[in-house]
Homo-oligomer: A and B are copies of this chain.
Amino acid sequence: MRIVVLAGGIGGARFLRGLKQAVPDADITVIGNTADDIHLFGLKVCPDLDTVMYTLGGGINEEQGWGRTDETFHLKEELAAYGVGPEWFGLGDRDFATHIVRTQMLSAGYPLSAVTEALCDRWKPGVRLLPMSDDRVETHVAVTLPHSGSAAGSGERKAIHFQEYWVRLRASVPAEAVVPVGAEQAKPAPGVLEAIAEADVVLFPPSNPVVSVGTILAVPGIREAIADAGVPVVGLSPIVGDAPVRGMADKVLAAVGVESTAAAVAEHYGSGLLDGWLVDTVDAGSVERVEAAGIRCRAVPLMMTDVDAAAQMAREALALAEEVRG
């Protein structure tokens, strides 16, 4: 079975670990979000690709869900001592090696897809990990930052990098707009469209529908390839009980005018793209609404408390795909 998964960071990575356990013999291609990539200290950092690679390769910090296990932060301490920022992005000493190797290879002229393959030669994630694009796409978030000491409501409107919104500001102000800068000009990375065309099923893990799966779909050609593939496309809701399981999906959904409910996210993807949708059991009441939108829907437990739980979710998604296939 050939499975294509569109993945963001932590949620995507943990779902993939469950998927591998559920169907160990499947041929899995992961199309990873690169729109939250950021240049820091002259280095190219790809948080989502790395989270997938470290999680599936056994190097992830399990507690926080990102970054390396057995990590130290001496380099970061020194950068701070030099007064060189940003200080709000937590790069550990081991993690830095990945960014140094990546940056060196990119500087030598290799595209990100080739670099990612080289990094995976070490981590052996057990999936084929492709960046959505070798071209630069960068999610910017429009926010209004209050002037210090000024009345609420007044402030400076500006566009900031998604990582600044999420990591530095911790999504503490509303996202007024979310723009994947460069997406329109981006081309799918080599292998992306081919993998979709050859897939038996396409899965959307419980990743952020706007800044993770949404940016992947914003690369021209990818949404169309999925819609045209003629195979079941099944997603898992990242919203459980009207709140995101983790992250700031509610904030960025509001920016695109979508309510933070499992049903609304399914409708946002739409029946033109999505064939099946899993909501959590607490959202069983929304199954009817989703099905009314032309998307087959089931309510199952969607909390990835451990690998077994994630594996069970993967089995439910694949079962729904078979049901769709009919």
Q: Which residues of A are in contact with B by a Cβ distance under 8 Å?
A: 41-43, 71-72, 74-79, 81-84, 92-94, 96-98, 100-101, 103-104, 107, 119, 121-122
So how many copies of this chain end up in the complex? Answer: 2
Q: List 6 A-B contacts (CB under 8 A).
A: A42-B107, A75-B75, A78-B98, A84-B104, A93-B96, A96-B96
Q: Is the CB of B122 within 8 A of A97?
A: no
Main DSSP-derived SS at the A contact region: helix
CB distance from A69 to the nearest CB of B (A): 11
- Smallest Cβ-Cβ distance to A119: which chain B residue: B82
Assembled-state Cα–Cα distance A43/B83 (Å): 19
Q: Is the CB of B93 within 8 A of A79?
A: no
Q: Is the CB of A94 within 8 A of B107?
A: no
Assembled-state Cα–Cα distance A110/B81 (Å): 20
Assembled-state Cα–Cα distance A17/B100 (Å): 34
CB distance from A54 to the nearest CB of B (A): 11
Q: Is the CB of A94 within 8 A of B82?
A: no
Q: Is the CB of B84 within 8 A of A42?
A: no
Q: Is the CB of B100 within 8 A of A41?
A: yes
Q: Is the CB of B79 within 8 A of A97?
A: yes
Question: Which residues from chain B contact A104 at a C-beta distance below 8 Å?
Answer: 41-42, 84
Question: Which residues from chain B contact A96 at a C-beta distance below 8 Å?
Answer: 75, 78, 93, 96
Assembled-state Cα–Cα distance A121/B76 (Å): 18
Q: Is the CB of A84 within 8 A of B101?
A: yes
